[in-house]
Chain A
Amino acid sequence: MGTLVSALNIANEALAADQSALNITANNVANQNTPGYTREVPNFTTQDTYLISGYEQANGVSAGTPTSVRDRVLEQRLQQQTQTASASSTLETALNDVQSIFGLTASSTSTSVTQLGTSVNDFFSSLTALANDPSEAATRQQVLSSASSLATTLNSASSQLNQITSSLNNEAVSIVGQVNQLLGTIASLNGRIATQNPEQDAGVLEDQRQQAIAQLSQYIGLDQITTSQNGIELTTSNAGLLVTANLSYPLTASIVNGVVQITAGPNNVNVTSGTAGALTGGTLGGTLEALDTSIPPIKANLDTLAYSIATAVNTQNEAGVDAYGNPGAALFTIGTSSTGAAGTIAVAVTDPNLVAAAGVGEGSSGNTNATALAALGTANIAGGDTATGYLATSLAAIGSATANATNDSTLQSATLTQLTSQVNALSGVSLDEEASNLTEYQRSYEAASQLFSIIDTLFASALNFGVVTSVT
């Protein structure tokens, strides 16, 4: 009976292998639209032969464990590109928001068309008008009106910059929450894979882990290291530990004095931008770059402009004589340093007669000081440049940074699309390919059916009627 038992065993193996291949194809077809699903292929293996009565007996085939068609190098490249593209896109969005504050567009970065540029020009034009007609009440009023308009425009730009900063701070904290959730998921999957598939591709669990890492790559720059038991260790791109084995180390995020601070790893190392182990990549990296690298100089330039105009005008007005014949006073309220100046600058007087148009000793109807005030419009009072020149340079820098961010984002996005296509071509499910498998199965089935018929017709000639035989 040894032969019959072994034959039945072969049948079972064959049926199982056959069914396994069909199941894998069915699974691939069914999961065609499942995000992150990696196509599986059957691995047929011939079982070891064995000897019965000196004859070698085949032991059929088995399907073995299906292998997911994945390329880890390509997957990691895709994750890195996702991190870069996400960071670029986030920075582009932030800079576009900043650019819109100043009325700049991709096609127009001219200072004269911006509200701030117009306000600066109008203010100095009103001083020129005052120099031409210092006794006219309307021209004096126009100086205060345009000064007020300039201060309000600077306040508004500063306020909007602060709102963008605040929004990005909150966004960073929100991203950290999502990052931490994914870190927990990946650590948990590491644990399950180590238990269930420590020595081989973990199929669906591996897909889930890769999907979680892919999502994580959108949020944060990271490196992954393959460890024992099919595990993956994750660190920030600057080696801050995020996940090891089944343990995750959540990031912490807090906003201190309007500045977001993020720590990582078991020792809670500060990984905010500007630190040695700063986070880069992903939307979090892009957000931090915007917060710590891109927006501060824009705020500083705006403050410098406000402070420079205010202090120069105040100094000059204090050097003159007002319409009452008194020494001039400060026209603007301003702090003692440029920090935050754009947000706090205000017009200090409401009486137009307090504008000191006259010079000392020429009487209240003179215009010498008004001429000097008007001359501030062409004097190098801001960072070694005129006020309009400084503003133009600042706005051009914003426009240039935004244009660069847009170009970079477009490039990174295109590269990401290409890589995604490559990964999908390798591991994505193609209905055409699965249809081709089905055709192959049908072809084999028909050939085997034909063989069955041929053998059936040969049956009689193989029988050994009347002769003693033994089952070998």
Chain B
Amino acid sequence: MGEKVKLSEALEQTASALAMFDSDALEELTVRLNAAADGLVEVEREPIEAIKARQRILAEVLIATEQSINILRGLRERKARNEWAL
């Protein structure tokens, strides 16, 4: 079990991939971290600050994305129903 995963890096990569809506990269990350959860890949120890800082970042990006998607969905639905004139 030589391969290791660093959570701070995984969080950063997740935020970056989400920013680009790169679903393929996110799925690759999911596979790797599921392997870590199954004990197939070692989780590298690192400072709590590094993980928490990047966790907070990802959380912010997730919240912003969710809000934007909801707005976008509403916009599209109203547009599709021709509910307003632009």
Contact = CB atoms under 8 A, between A and B. Distances in A.
Interface of A: 3-4, 7-8, 10-11, 13-15, 17-19, 21-22, 25-26, 29-34, 44, 58, 60-61, 431, 434-435, 438, 440-445, 447-452, 454-459, 461-464, 467, 469-472
B46 A443 contact: no
A441 B72 contact: yes
A469 B44 CA distance: 13
A445 B44 CA distance: 26
B57 interface: yes
B62 A452 contact: yes
B47 to A, nearest CB: 4
A10 B44 contact: no
Contacts of B68: 18-19, 22, 441
A44 B20 CA distance: 7
B86 A11 contact: no
Contacts of B66: 445
Contacts of B40: none
B75 A3 contact: no
Interface in B34-86: 34, 36-37, 43-51, 53-62, 64-66, 68-69, 71-73, 75-76, 79-80, 86
B21 A58 contact: no
Interface of B: 6-7, 10-12, 14-23, 26-27, 29-30, 33-34, 36-37, 43-51, 53-62, 64-66, 68-69, 71-73, 75-76, 79-80, 86
B37 A15 contact: no
Nearest to A438: B72
B1 to A, nearest CB: 13
A434 B7 contact: no
Contacts of B7: 455, 458-459, 462
B41 to A, nearest CB: 10
Interface of B (DSSP majority class): helix
Contacts of A431: 76, 79-80
A464 B80 contact: no
A459 B62 contact: no
Given A26-B71, A30-B75, A454 B33 contact: yes
A442 B69 CA distance: 7
Contacts of B86: 30-31, 33-34
A450 B75 CA distance: 26
Contacts of B27: 447
Nearest to A11: B57
Contact of A445 (B18, B45, B54): B18
Residue in B43, B53, B55 whose Cβ sees the most chain A Cβ within 10 Å: B53
Interface of A (DSSP majority class): helix
Contact of A462 (B12, B19, B43, B73): B43
A190 B54 CA distance: 45
A115 to B, nearest CB: 51
B69 A445 contact: yes
B65 A10 contact: no
A457 B12 contact: no
B19 A44 contact: yes
Nearest to A13: B19
A462 B51 CA distance: 9
Contacts of A471: 47, 49-50
Given A442-B69, A448-B61, A455-B11, A61 B19 contact: yes
Contact of A440 (B11, B16, B23, B30): B23
A8 B34 CA distance: 26
Contacts of A447: 18, 23, 26-27, 29-30
6 contacts: A8-B57, A18-B18, A21-B21, A61-B19, A448-B58, A455-B33
Contacts of A440: 21, 23
A450 B61 contact: no
Given A14-B19, A445-B62, A452-B62, A58 B46 contact: no
Given A32-B79, A434-B76, A17 B33 contact: no
A58 B54 CA distance: 13
B76 A438 contact: yes
A275 B65 CA distance: 63
Given A14-B61, A22-B68, A60-B15, 9 more contacts: A10-B16, A11-B56, A22-B65, A60-B16, A447-B18, A448-B14, A448-B62, A451-B30, A456-B55
Contacts of A17: 19-20
Residue in A7, A21, A463 whose Cβ sees the most chain B Cβ within 10 Å: A7
A15 B49 CA distance: 21
Nearest to A457: B37
Given A60-B19, A444-B21, A458-B37, A451 B75 contact: no
Contacts of B47: 464, 469-471
Given A7-B53, A17-B20, A29-B76, A454 B37 contact: yes
Contacts of A462: 6-7, 43-46, 51
A440 B20 CA distance: 11
Contacts of A13: 19
B61 A18 contact: yes
A22 B14 contact: no
